[in-house]
Structure 1
């Protein structure tokens, strides 16, 4: 079975993000270590390879780093985003001016390791629930400035995306409900405000709130911090009326039971805000 197609990253966004990272790294004088130790005419081949198992994400950002530092660098890509990596898997080979190669190295690896870490964490969660109908999704708990890339990495790992920002869906949370005067008034106000293409989701933390919410017909109900037994009851109460999303206390040890309760979506911020980097390195090929 072929894997789903990945969304395309905007090269304008990629190049802007990478340029900002390179400028931060260059400082006022550029790579003075390479300038001091490497002859201007020296050439080298660098090999980017995985040092641990995981899922690749962010190759376009790595390529942009090498391209922006020196367009003469020749990059051969040997693995694609979404590919499973084993220790030793070669991701890319880069040949050209040694100074340029080493100047771009850290920015390229920072993006590649971080985003591959997000993809790998997502994949670990998704693998736990492949026998169910549930899907892992990310949240807005992302690194400022990197949201689009981290959400892309989630897709590389087999997950899906929640909303990208405050403007692409209405999500009524507990504080909105408190100010609006209750679940039903909040949903009704949202329905009166929203256009026909805007989905409405409401967060509930009790079964009574769920029952109230369903009378106002939201598109999605977020079941906040409910254990598997409560989630099973919520699924029975819902009877397919709304998409059910479980959120809160989602870990590798809890996600299977959450999914087996029958919910449709499981959201977790951990896969973006706390995923460890995937160890990828660049070594100079000798000989």
Structure 2
């Protein structure tokens, strides 16, 4: 489970945005002050669960005495019609919190479900599916958690936890060798270095550095065709460097990319293009 401390600021910001300056005027006008209600969060489509903690955290923020029963856990697959959670709470509070809970739950389940589709598409190849930093601002920790729920792995979380030398860094530094050498001189032994290359000529330069013990830990093969990906894998041989394929990956192409023998396939679409999963709320 994702720590509550990472979710609560998102919940509180979303509730504040929704409640605005005057609170839920509809609930205040229509719902008796003492009314309570029971409701179910139910899936309208099949999918993979992620972010179920958003339900109790959103509801309890407005009704600390609410009762919430979670029926499934993050990472579980479910069919259409599955009940994900049941709530009994103050009616005004619950009706004010429901959209925040549904927005986050649908978004995160959508990311987990799409990720699971990619993971299943490469099953048996040995390749792992990874996310990118192409996340919704403010939701990165939640969306990357959803990727893990779907069976994927996380790339770096931000600019501070790994060095990723991209094409523009290489240009400014004056070349692949210069960029990697500068990075190695700057960081300690625990910081990983990844280098993006855009062709086999740059790949060979990086591979020479790896053989000399001064190269990157990971080489990203950016927008390589499958033939060049397979050639890079062949040239790598048994040298200890991770090969990551990136660029233009979709559910139609990902299996062929995986079959070239790369270790990791990073897919921005997991977070920037995942459709929201349809989850409804039904009072009973």
Partner-residue secondary structure (3-state), 1:34 = helix
How much does 1:94 deviate? Answer: 0.3
CA distance in 2, matches of 1:116, 1:31: 27
Partner-residue secondary structure (3-state), 1:29 = coil
How much does 1:240 deviate? Answer: 3.3
User: Does 1:30 pair with 2:28?
Assistant: no
User: Does 1:100 pair with 2:93?
Assistant: yes
The aligned runs of 1:202-217 (5 Å cut-off) are: 202-217=195-210
CA contact (8 A) 1:116 1:153 kept: yes
How much does 1:10 deviate? Answer: 2.4
Map of 1:263 onto structure 2: 262
The aligned runs of 1:42-121 (5 Å cut-off) are: 42-121=35-114
How much does 1:11 deviate? Answer: 1.5
User: Does 1:40 pair with 2:40?
Assistant: no
User: Does 1:183 pair with 2:181?
Assistant: no
How much does 1:215 deviate? Answer: 1.5
Alpha-carbon displacement from aligned partner over 1:103-154 (angstroms, at most 9, x marks no partner): 1100000110001100011011110011110000000111111111110000
How much does 1:62 deviate? Answer: 2.0
CA contact (8 A) 1:188 1:216 kept: no
CA distance in 1, matches of 2:151, 2:106: 17
CA contact (8 A) 1:135 1:266 kept: yes
How much does 1:64 deviate? Answer: 0.6
CA distance in 2, matches of 1:13, 1:96: 24
Map of 1:3 onto structure 2: none
CA contact (8 A) 1:169 1:198 kept: yes
Map of 2:153 onto structure 1: 160
CA distance in 2, matches of 1:51, 1:177: 48
Map of 2:245 onto structure 1: 246
CA contact (8 A) 1:46 1:101 kept: no
Aligned length: 278
CA distance in 1, matches of 2:12, 2:191: 34
Gaps of 5+ in 2: 211-215
CA distance in 1, matches of 2:105, 2:55: 6
Map of 1:231 onto structure 2: 229
CA distance in 2, matches of 1:179, 1:31: 53
Map of 1:279 onto structure 2: 278
Could you list the runs of 4 or more consecutive aligned residues of structure 1 that deviate by over 3 angstroms after TM superposition?
A: none
Gaps of 5+ in 1: 1-7
Partner-residue secondary structure (3-state), 2:123 = coil
Partner-residue secondary structure (3-state), 1:165 = coil
Map of 1:222 onto structure 2: 220
The aligned runs of 1:196-207 (5 Å cut-off) are: 196-207=189-200
RMSD over aligned CA atoms reads 0.9
Partner-residue secondary structure (3-state), 1:283 = strand
Alpha-carbon displacement from aligned partner over 1:227-285 (angstroms, at most 9, x marks no partner): 11111001001113210000001000000000000000000111001100011111111
Partner-residue secondary structure (3-state), 2:178 = helix
CA distance in 2, matches of 1:80, 1:240: 40
CA distance in 1, matches of 2:204, 2:63: 60
Match for 2:134 among 125, 141, 154? Answer: 141
Partner-residue secondary structure (3-state), 1:216 = helix
